[in-house]
Amino acid sequence: MINNLLNLEKKIQIKFKNKKNLLKSLTHKSFDSTNNNEKLEFLGDRVLGLVISKKLLELYPNDTEGNLDKKLAYLVNKNRCCEIGKKINLDKFIITGTSKQKRNNIVDKIISDTCEALIGAIYLDHGFLVVEKFINRLWQHHLQKSIKPQIDAKTKLQEYSLKKYKSLPIYKLLSSTGPKHKPLFKIAVKIQNSKFINATGYSKKDAELKAANLFLKKIGL
C-alpha cells in the first residue's frame, strides 16, 4: 500500500505531508462506507471550479459571462475529470470493495470522482497555491482548447429544437440497474415530430449527453 502511494506521489509530482489524506482520496465507498473519499470529492469539485474560474478570468478578461460559463462547463465536467484521472493512471490506485477486480473494470464515474477527491486532498494537505499549480498543469491542454467555446450535445440539441419547433427536448429515464456503487442509467430523448433515441451511462447526465449525441448524429448535426 505504501509503495502504491509513493508511486502515485511520483506520478502527480506532489509529496503528501499526511499520507492519510492521499489514502482517503483513493478509498471508494464500496470499500469503506464511512471513511471514504465522498467528502473530499465534494471539496475537490469546488476547488477545481474555483481554480479553473480564476484561470479563465486571467486568460479571457474581456469575455462575456455566458462564454466563460460555457468554457467552465467544458473544463470541469465529469468526462474531463475522467480523462485527467486516466492520464495519471488513477484507476491503478483506487481502492474499491472488490479489490480483486481487474483495474479496467473500474468505471469512468469512479475515476472522475476520485480525481476530484485527489484535488480535495491536495488542497487540504498543501493549500491553494499547490493545488492551483497541479490543476493548471494537468488541465493545460484543455485550457488551450477552450479558446473556442465547446458546446455539448445537450446544449446543441436544445438550441436546434428551440429554433425549429420552439420547444425543448424531452428526456425520459427508462431504467436504473446495477449495484448502488455502479448504477447504469438508460435514458431516452426526443424532440417534436421524432421518436425516442436511448443511450446508457454511469450517471444520468452522462446518459443524457450520449442520447443527445446519438440524436444529433441521426439528424446529421
Q: Which of 145, 172, 190 is the last residue of a domain?
A: 145
Q: Are residues 96 and 167 in the same domain?
A: no
User: 89, 112 in Cβ contact below 8 A?
Assistant: no
Query: What angle (nearest 5°) sits at the alpha carbon of residue 75, between those of residues 69 and 76?
Result: 90
pLDDT tens digits, residue range 145-200? Answer: 776 656 788 999 999 999 999 999 999 999 999 888 778 999 999 999 999 999 99
**113, 116, 125, 208: which is the annotated catalytic residue?**
116
Same domain, 53 and 129: yes
User: Is 45 annotated as catalytic?
Assistant: yes
State which residues form the domain around 77.
Answer: 2-145
Q: For the segment 116-129, what is each residue's pLDDT rounded down to a tens digit?
A: 999 999 999 999 99
Same domain, 89 and 34: yes
168 in the same domain as 141: no
CATH number of the domain where residue 211 is located: 3.30.160.20
How many folded domains does the chain comprise? 2
Q: Are 209 and 201 in contact (CB under 8 A)?
A: yes
Is the same domain home to 194 and 119?
Answer: no
pLDDT (tens digit per residue) in 32-87: 989 999 999 999 999 999 999 999 999 988 888 988 888 898 899 888 999 999 99
Q: pTM for the whole thing?
A: 0.68
Q: What is the mean pLDDT of residues 13-22?
A: 95
Among the options 41, 45, 113, 125, which is catalytic?
A: 45
Active site residue 58: no
Q: Could you give the maximum distance between any two Cα atoms of the chain, in Å?
A: 59
The reply to whether 111 and 41 lie within a common domain is yes
Are residues 199 and 165 both part of a single domain?
yes
Question: Are 11 and 116 found together in one domain?
Answer: yes
